[in-house]
Structure 1
Amino acid sequence: MANTVKILLKNVPFFGHLPEDAINHLEAIVTEKTLGDGDVLFREGDNANTCYIVKSGAIEILKKDKKSGKDVRLAVRGQGEFFGEMSLLEDSPRFASAKSSGQSTVIEIDRDQFSKLIGKYPALAMKVMEVLSSRLRQSDIQLINDLQRKNEQLEFANKRLYETSRELEKSYANLKTANKFLERIISASQFFIVVTDQDGKIFIFNDEAKRIFGCDFKDIAGEEIGILIKPTGKGEILTEIEGNLKDGKIWRGDILTETHGHSRLVIELVAARVFDEKGEIFASLYMGRDVTEEKNIERQMIMLERMATRGEMAAEIAHELNNYLSIVFGNLELLEMEMQMGNIDNAPKKIKSMKDGLDRITKFTEGLMMYSRPASKKERFDLNAFLENELFFICSQNRFDGVDFEYDFDRRLPDITADKSQIQQAIMNLLNNAADAMISNAKGNKKIILRTQYAEDAHTVRISVIDNGVGFTDESLSKVFRQHFTSKESGHGFGLLAVKRVIKNHGGKVWAERNPLGGAIFNIEFPVIVEEKSQVAVPQIG
């Protein structure tokens, strides 16, 4: 074997003191092994009966961590360094594994051959003990240093943990204060606030929500929003709201809903998603207020404005009528005076003048009926929801006391385009007529059914007002919707003519029929323009 091995052996602490013939003997009994990168020389737990010296390259000493199962590097042995020396003295498994780091060459010494060498050179055993003792001492020192370093790290970590704990306590206290403040704000808000989690379950419910919806938090905690908001008429509105929220849009609108106490109210609602700092859904917010009284006042204001307008028109009409009537009354007074004087020669002239005046009044009133078509402002809306909303406000009027209202709405009905004000007036006139027709009905026997029907093939919608009042005679049924026709002692027939004009303005028709169960049915029908709904995106909040 080349002199390189002999030189290498002499540099090993075990063998440096041996005489030349012993080195020569040792050189003869060792073997040489070449390893590639990553090759394992021996594994932890293998039988140990050889010692190694690194001739070239590097060998990693690895110990498997019991918790993670990964190899932990204990040391790296380079050229001239030895390892596995404990196998020369005891028969025990390998304490660690040895793996080549890159290309390397090692010299292997067999335990049996080494034992024979000790028998010939006893001083070698003492030298081995000295080297092992030195390594153990170095290991102890390294272990102590490691323990000191880890202790310092542990003390630093403990200090940081204490500081972090104090900071967390302070943050928790601040968070608790902020949370209480937020709870007070939410609780004192004049708007109802309901919040659902990622699964749509209610977890925030303030005092105003309790007042409006008539229930306690414990009654609805963990339930979905539909337990609170129960839209009447357009039931699919909750699906529409959820669709908007999924698209990252805010939903705003008025909803006619029913409370836990089965009373109805109109709420102004805003619904939106709430996102966390990662942009993920954190919750859904439903906020709003009860606008029932406002809507009622708004309707009354509109009615007052209409009455004021009608009052002005009535004053102008009265002025015109007075002009015509002054001619009639003037001629009537002159005729009376002349007849008292026995002069009747001018009577035919005076009578003709009065007749002409009355004809002018008749033509004037007919002209008012003919040319009083209202201006039309059409818009797109949900007819079923509109009608139910109207009934909500109408049924509280005195003339409808004791009347049982029933809805029979066709849920296939699409949104329509019409003049809300005119449709409202037409329905109001028909409902008023129905109430008047049931005046003589016994208490508890007054019923009005409001029905909608959609003819999909013809694209028409029909609204029917059905009552169980006095109904029609053959004569009255044939005269309905004619000018000046009325079945009421104080009526003038204008109401049904107004209904006819409204429906004609919408390209439709109106007719009446007998109710087979007793009473009357008034039908109005007009075409529907089917349009696709469009939604406007709004920014998401978070």
Structure 2
Amino acid sequence: MQRLKGNSLFSGLPETEIAKLEEFIRIKDFPKNAVLIDEGVPGSYLYLLIAGNVKITRNGLDGREMILTERHAGDFFGEMALLDDAPRSARVVATEDSVAGVIGKNEFNAMMIREPRVAVNILRTISMRLRLSNDQIMQSMEEKERYHAKQLERFQSLIEFNKTLGAEREEVGLFRVVPVIVRSQILCHDVLLVLDDPESGRYHTSIQEVSGWRMIDFSETDKGTAKLAALKKTLTMEDFAAYEFRDTMEPQAFWKNAASIMIAPINDPRQNHGFIAVKSAQKFRWEPEDEAFMTTLASDVSMVLRNMRLMRKAMFDEKMSAVGKASSSLLHDFKNLLSVVYNYAKLIKTAATEEERKELVEKIVKFSSLMMGMSQEVLIYGDGSVKASPTPVRISEIFDMVMPLLDTAGKKITMQTSIPEGLEFPLDKDKICRVFYNILTNACDAMGDAGHISVTAAFEKNDLVIRISDTGPGIPEDVLPQIFKPFVTTKKHGTGLGLPIVKSIVEAHRGKVQIETRIGSGTTFIFTFPK
């Protein structure tokens, strides 16, 4: 009786009353893993757990065991099938050696007739378990809702990733976007993106500095990076701890003091492109859903990277094709200009005065400079994608370099600049000089013998905005949509590559160029460079 009085079935009953009920109960021992109740069979007994523990389980749709709950000493179970005469709804297995009081169905009915408080305790316990079950169901639903919301958020982040980089041609976009997406979805302290360089055959990463993004090439002795890139599965800290190259990995600043690591390789069936690594300075284990997200993101990076490289190759092939098609026209222009230079050179021999010789030499220099400019534009255009290496530069210094190169001798062309003293911005100095030289040269050509050019530069909403305006005839409406296309020109001598080169260089700085023009009033080129 002493062993039974602590059971919740007899809560509130005096010991004398419990003693009267002992005749209905048989004490049985159940070894570990013994099945007390099997799912689907008729119910015949109520169990009062005196010692030990049991688990209540059901098989899921996939056949795997699901633990619904556990019962401990002092609990009772098995009452539902005795009350509703339905088959057992779950399986009960001893998780350790256990002792239970067993009450048959007839004895159970007789006990409740003799002592109604037993029935009350059963109802109270059923009510409590139903409430607990409701709470667990609600908690499970909320957890599933949070899980699905997180998965939806991650799915949307992958969509945004592909939308953001869908039109990108330069891989620096990946170094800019991937760490941001990873940090928004994965709990970590730092993110490292490593990509292969098809030209050098080595791997590199990129870091952001004040002047822009700087590529860092890994040394040829860094064997660990290539090994990690060749992985076919996500690597965690347990795997990395045994990794033979872990102490020589680059960049060492990332791998140093890493308590937890997760690495997702970026590869396709034909090529190992690199990997995405996340680290935590604390010991931490990411969830399987985190690993799945990293694997999916790495797969998307592989696809975007492949598209970028295919796009660049297609553009390069298209440019080479266009250069080839235009070569006959360019050679014709070169032949004409060489003929002019040749004739001026012959005239020098017969020039009567020093003044005449000086004038002829100046003409030779002018036409030679024109030919050099045409050659340079073809070389820049044919070189493929333009890459900028920005460093802080004073904007006034750029125009101080460009304006003396303009051919305004003998023309009534005035120029005015309005640039704040000390205005600086990260730009590729040589390439940006080419941009403004092309624009100013076009302006001078368009205005002919007289006109006015104004240049302004200022910050507008954190962007650098440069405006170059002329008082020329304006750009015809039918020419304007084609103006940035290669080999489109209205000049007698020209490659038609000046403005496409301008656009390529500006876009390499993540900038944009716009045109405002009115026939008879002039044209303004507006350059916007984001900070």
| TM-score category of the 2 structures, normalised to the smaller one | 0.3 to 0.5
Q: TM-score, normalised by structure 1?
A: 0.32
Q: TM-score, normalised by structure 2?
A: 0.32
